[in-house]
Every structure is written in C-alpha cells, then in structure tokens.
Chain A
Amino acid sequence: MKSVIKQEVLALNGDEAVAYAAKQSDVDIVAAYPITPQTIIVEKFSEYVANGEVETEFVCTESEHSAMTACLAAATTGARAFTATASAGLALMHEMLFVTSGCRAPVVMAVANRALSAPINIHGDHSDTMAERDSGWIQIYAENAQEVYDSVVQAFRIAENPEVLLPVMVCLDGFTLSHTLENVNVLPDTVVEKFVGTRQLPQVLTHEGKTASFKLDPENPMTVGSIALQNYYFEFKRQQEEAMRNALNVIKQVHDEYAQVSDRSYGDALVESYCVDDAEIAIICLGSTAGTVKTVVDKLRAEDVKAGLLRIRTFRPLPVKEIIKALGTVKALAVMDRAISFGGNGGPVYHEVRHVLYSADKHPYVVNYIYGLGGRDTSPEQIRKIYEDLQRILQTQHVKTPIQYVGLRE
C-alpha cells in the first residue's frame, strides 16, 4: 500500500533540481568550482547556504581537483559531502576520483555531461563520464529533471550504505537537462530528510585493535588512504569490486523504497524497459535521448512495428542479468553511444552490451550508432531511421555497417 504524500510541483531545470535535492538531503559540505553547464547547481546551493536554508559548509575552491579533495576529506571525517562538475572539471578530478572510491568515501556528485576539449565545446555528450567509468564510482544517468531530483536523493542512501560505501555520480545531459525547465514534483523537506537519514558509519577495527566507527576521529585515531603495496593493494581493489556487486541490490532497494514514498519509479532502477517485452527490434541508450526514442517507439507501435527501448539507468555497476533478461525477444539491437572510444571498435556502451550478450542464450544482431557529440541534436527522424535499419537487418539477415554515425557530415 503506497502512502500518498502531497508533493509540490516546481518549475526547475536539471541543475536546479540537483541543488534542490542536495538542499533537502542535509549535506554537511559542498565544495565546488564553476564550469558550464554545472554552474547553476552551485549558484543555487550558495543561495541556500547564504539564506540559512541549509546548515552546510560551502567552499569555493580554486579548482575541481581541490573540490573533490575537499569532499573526500570531509567524507572521511564522517560528513556528508556533495559536489558538481562537468567535462574538463571531471577530467581534472580524475586522480581524486580513484582516491575517493579507494578510500570508500561516499561522496555524491552531479555531472552535467559535456564534451571534452579539444576543440573547445560546452555542449552535451557523454565523453566526460565515460572516460571515468573505471574510476570506482557508481554512475546513474537520468532521463529528465524529475529523475535527476529523485536520483540525487537516492544517491546519498546508496553511497552511504555500509554494504556499498562508494561514491555516486548522477549524470544529467548538459543543457538538454541542466538548463531546460521542467515541472518537477518535489517531496516535503521532512520526508526527504527522513528518507536520507543521518549517515551510517560501519564499525571497523583500528590498528590498536579497537572497534570504532569508520571515520577520522581524534578519540579513535585511524589512518585513511595509507600505503598498500604488493601485500594488500589487490585485496582493497577486490573489496571495491565486491561493493559494486552489492550496489546492484542496494540501488534497487533504495529505488523501491523511494517509490513507496514518492510514487515514482524508473524501471527496476538499473534498466528501464519500454515496450521491449515482445520487441523484435530495440534501441539501447542512456540519459535524455531515451525521451526522444520513446516518442518514436510509440509511433512505431501504432504502426504495428514491434519496436522497443531499453534504457540503461545504472551504467556502473553494469546490470548484466537485467540487460540479458530484458532483451529476450529482441532480434536486432541498436546501441546508441554519445561518446567514442577512439580506436576501440565502437562506443563504450556498445562494447559493454555486446560483451554482456556473449553469455546470453540468444544472440541478436547488435549494431552501434554514435550520435550527439558536442551537443549535436538528435531528431526523432534520425531515431526512426535507426529502427528502419534494424528492420532491414532482419529482412536481409545481414549487417552491412556495424558502426555508424548519426547526423554526421561526411
């Protein structure tokens, strides 16, 4: 039985939705550096701080590297830390992303996805977060501003779960989501505060053999981030991978619990199936593009074409079982990538999906479409053409070009 909570509808863009969610999540510290298209998040949050609406320490750092360092350090003292960045900012954090996940610091970060230089470009694509997919961070890609809000609230619970204790990135497409105004249902402050709760600290053994909460505390001194060479480093990394496995369930649990409170859900939290149960042809994509694909699926279904969409919401950890299960009836699959893996035979999502399907019983045709780099628009007509390509593959039982580019001048 769902408890019905009255929610307020606010006109928010994706960045504002992030800031609002962070504001309600009782964050102890925000450290950030401005970069387009993330700036609104930090500006909004600084207003909340200045207005006394939150009890958050807010630090304007001199670079993103310092921003992530400050968040990591705060998290190791037991604080709840949040930041936001994009593109080059995320790339500059690269070193600290690994240190943060390695220290098991549950920092939450919003990334307003943006292309990487050179050439200079401020618009949306997934090059920035895809380059960090192996940094030990959980990655959630949102489809719209509502999901951005919901995902940020959920992210704190996921990150801080003692079975997980990993940092989380909530990814929102630059400008398409970050700067576009939408109606967003927001929960009352008290409901979010209760849902997120206070940060739970696991009990660990200190070097003195005492049991203590996992945080820097003068009463129970411990060292975080120390050295582990051939003797222990490998075990640390294995534990991080184990935490990623645990996260698959925790992400679902947190999502389901949130659905009870908010009456909103996104597939099973890991993947979202749209008309894919009986689909013969399907697209896989991440983020806001799913909205465009859905409108095309609706039209094709009206024409009795068995088309579907599988949106991967959680890209790290990769929901292997869920992807295989969802694609049971699919005979031809198009994987859309908003990033290139240069020299890697297709985009990163294509690599992973094809690899996942190798262990499936049935093997659909899998083709790759690289699209939208540097913010190039992707139209419903282009999506329809992808489905037509898939139909042609089924008719001819032949893949002519496995990797194609959408909307590219050649």
Chain B
Amino acid sequence: MSETQLHPLIAKYARKGAQRQPHCAGCGNGIIAQCMLRAIEELDLDFGKMVFVSGIGCSSWIPSPFFNTDVLHTIHGRPLAFATGVKLSNPDLRVVVFTGDGDGAAIGGNHLIHAARKNIEILAILINNRIYGMTGGQVAPTTPHGMKTRTTPYGNLEYPFDLCKLVEAAGASYVVRWTTFHVKQLVSSMKRGLLKEGFSFIEVMSQCPVQYGRFIGIRDPAKMLLMLRDSSLPISKAKSMSEEELEGRIVVGEFVDRERVGLTKAYKKLLNEVQA
C-alpha cells in the first residue's frame, strides 16, 4: 500500500511498516484506536511527548507496535504499574494506558484501584469485551451472570464488576463509559481525559465477534454494535431506575468529573516546599 492511499491519521501516527493492526475482522479495537488518534489530532498534541503503555490481551495491541511514538508493551495485568513509573520519572510526558477487562480488572485489578486512589495523571482506556478474547473465550470478571463461556459451559455463577463505579469510588478525577457505537462521545471524552488533571478512566464496552460472539450466537460485528447501542442507557436516566430495570443495560456517560490534585503535581509542590 502506498502512503498516498493511507488514511491520513494512519499516515501521520502509525509506525512505518506497521500500519495494519493485528485484530480480528470486526473487532472494536480498530474503532477505539481511531478515536484515540482523532482525539490527539483534534487537540493537536505533541505525539512525541506521549507514551502509550499496554499489558497483555487483544487491547494491548492497539498502540504496540502501531503508534509511532514511545510504546511500552508490558506484562499481563501491570500496565498501570509501569505507567506509574513512567509518569513519576518524567511528569512532562502524557501517559496513556490501553488495557482490557482481563488485564485491567482481573489480574491487574489491584493496580487499577490504586492508580485511581493515587489519582496519578494517567489516562487509562479499558476495553471491556466481557470475555478473555485472546486466550480463547474463558470467563472474565466482567462476564455477565449466567453467560456461557469456555470455562463456564453451563453459565457463569459469578457477577461482573461495575468498573466505573469501582474506579469512581477509588478516587479517580474523571470516569466515563461508552461503547464502540458511541464514537463521537468517545472522542470527546478522550479529549477531556487527555487534558484532565489526575487519573482518568474510560471504559469502552466493545464487541468481540470471535469469542463473545460465538457464545451469544451473534457473530456479525455490525449487529453486535447495534446491540451495544440498544442496550445503552444514559447515566442521567439510569439514576432514577431500579436495579431490576437496569438488568442487562449498559449505563453510559460521565460517572464523575471532579477537580482533584494529581499525584505528580502534589509531589512537585511538596518538593518545592521542602526544598525552599
């Protein structure tokens, strides 16, 4: 493919020789990658001053090796710990984490709540497809109750996390949830998250037509996108609804947007005071 045929965002932001992403056809990760690049483009951020950190799982392949800037592809569950190190050592860098529900909510769940509690200036994009996609469709801590997966052949006995409520309670400055259908809102929230002081958390409910799709019997990505749209409910409406009414719905929108001093800023202030 010659460069002139490339999408302008890819031509500008993708690493030469790595313009194609490795995801399955119909995966939501491509949509999210584009939303991220649009947000950066619209804000006219210095891409070279950004660091993308990812863990292990499908979502972790969004920046690595695709984005033509510093990318740290790390180990399962720990991208937020790595990102914390990056941000603390060089607070001038804008640090974005791409993680998934297995990476960020299961094995790395502890790091998620503590990154939020510390309120460190990182934007975390958690892509929730409600299943372990890359390893072949095993149950995750985000899998709906009763759902069949490779490791729950007769239905999941456990209940899924509400990650936005969790991260909000843990202390993040900015918490928002959208689906891969809500691209305009997602770009807008990414822009907000990129500029926000403190820990910003964006959960994107995404379609996995290969693994999740086969267990719900719908493998058409377009249909899955419409399902995400139809099951979505704005948070303003959800507030007055009962738990029963919210069953099976995805509450979308801003959970919290508050002013709290970020960790590296507080750290710098303390250093200045002590050294004065």
A-B contact count (CB 8 A): 52
Residues of B within 8 A of A120 (CB): 56, 73
Instruction: Tell me the bound Cα distance from A335 to B135 in angstroms.
Output: 34
Which residue of B106, B134, B151 contacts A43 across the interface (Cβ within 8 Å)? B151
The answer to whether the Cβ of A224 comes within 8 Å of any Cβ in the partner chain is no
Q: Does B154 contact A50, Cβ atoms closer than 8 Å?
A: yes
Instruction: Tell me the bound Cα distance from A51 to B153 in angstroms.
Output: 9
Instruction: Tell me the bound Cα distance from A63 to B154 in angstroms.
Output: 22
* Stretch of B14-22, B136-144, B234-242 that contacts chain A: B136-144
Report how many residues on chain B are interfacial, defined by Cβ distance under 8 Å. 20
Q: Does B73 contact A43, Cβ atoms closer than 8 Å?
A: no
Among residues of B, the one whose C-beta sits closest to the C-beta of A33 is B107
Residues of A within 8 A of B141 (CB): 62
Residues of B within 8 A of A39 (CB): 135-136, 138, 150
The answer to whether the Cβ of A34 comes within 8 Å of any Cβ in the partner chain is yes
Q: Does B135 contact A63, Cβ atoms closer than 8 Å?
A: no
Which residue of A36, A50, A88 contacts B153 across the interface (Cβ within 8 Å)? A50
Instruction: Tell me the bound Cα distance from A50 to B73 in angstroms.
Output: 36
The answer to whether the Cβ of A47 comes within 8 Å of any Cβ in the partner chain is yes
Among residues of B, the one whose C-beta sits closest to the C-beta of A116 is B75
Which residue of A47, A60, A118 contacts B138 across the interface (Cβ within 8 Å)? A60
Among residues of A, the one whose C-beta sits closest to the C-beta of B106 is A62
Q: B161 to nearest A CB, angstroms?
A: 10
The answer to whether the Cβ of B171 comes within 8 Å of any Cβ in the partner chain is no
Q: Does A43 contact B107, Cβ atoms closer than 8 Å?
A: no
Which residue of B77, B109, B138 contacts A42 across the interface (Cβ within 8 Å)? B138
Residues of B within 8 A of A117 (CB): 75
Interface residues on A, range: 20 to 34
Residues of A within 8 A of B77 (CB): 63
Q: Does A43 contact B136, Cβ atoms closer than 8 Å?
A: yes
The answer to whether the Cβ of A184 comes within 8 Å of any Cβ in the partner chain is no
Instruction: Tell me the bound Cα distance from A63 to B150 in angstroms.
Output: 17
The answer to whether the Cβ of A46 comes within 8 Å of any Cβ in the partner chain is yes
Residues of A within 8 A of B139 (CB): 60
Q: Does A47 contact B153, Cβ atoms closer than 8 Å?
A: yes
Residues of A within 8 A of B231 (CB): none
Which residue of B73, B134, B152 contacts A46 across the interface (Cβ within 8 Å)? B152
Q: A64 to nearest B CB, angstroms?
A: 8
**Given A34-B132, A36-B135, A120-B56, are A60 and B151 also a contact pair (CB < 8 Å)?**
yes
The answer to whether the Cβ of A35 comes within 8 Å of any Cβ in the partner chain is yes
Q: B76 to nearest A CB, angstroms?
A: 6
Q: Does B109 contact A62, Cβ atoms closer than 8 Å?
A: yes
Among residues of B, the one whose C-beta sits closest to the C-beta of A120 is B73
Instruction: Tell me the bound Cα distance from A299 to B253 in angstroms.
Output: 70
Q: Does A34 contact B135, Cβ atoms closer than 8 Å?
A: yes
**Given A46-B152, A47-B153, are A35 and B75 also a contact pair (CB < 8 Å)?**
no
Interface positions, chain A 63-99, Cβ under 8 Å from B, are 63-64, 88, 92
Q: A18 to nearest B CB, angstroms?
A: 15
Q: A29 to nearest B CB, angstroms?
A: 15
With A60-B139, A60-B151, A63-B77 given, can you name 6 additional A-B contacts, CB distance below 8 Å? A33-B106, A34-B135, A39-B150, A43-B136, A62-B107, A117-B75
**Residue ranges of B at the interface with A (Cβ–Cβ < 8 Å):** 56, 73, 75-77, 106-107, 109, 132, 134-136, 138-139, 141, 150-154
**Residue ranges of A at the interface with B (Cβ–Cβ < 8 Å):** 33-36, 39, 42-43, 46-47, 50-51, 58, 60, 62-64, 88, 92, 117-118, 120
A to B CB contacts below 8 Å, 22 in the list = A33-B106, A33-B107, A34-B135, A34-B136, A35-B135, A36-B134, A36-B135, A39-B135, A39-B136, A43-B136, A43-B138, A46-B150, A50-B153, A60-B139, A60-B151, A62-B106, A62-B109, A62-B141, A92-B76, A117-B75, A120-B56, A120-B73
Top 10 nearest A-B pairs by Cβ distance?
A50-B153, A63-B107, A34-B135, A62-B106, A46-B151, A34-B138, A50-B154, A43-B150, A39-B135, A60-B139
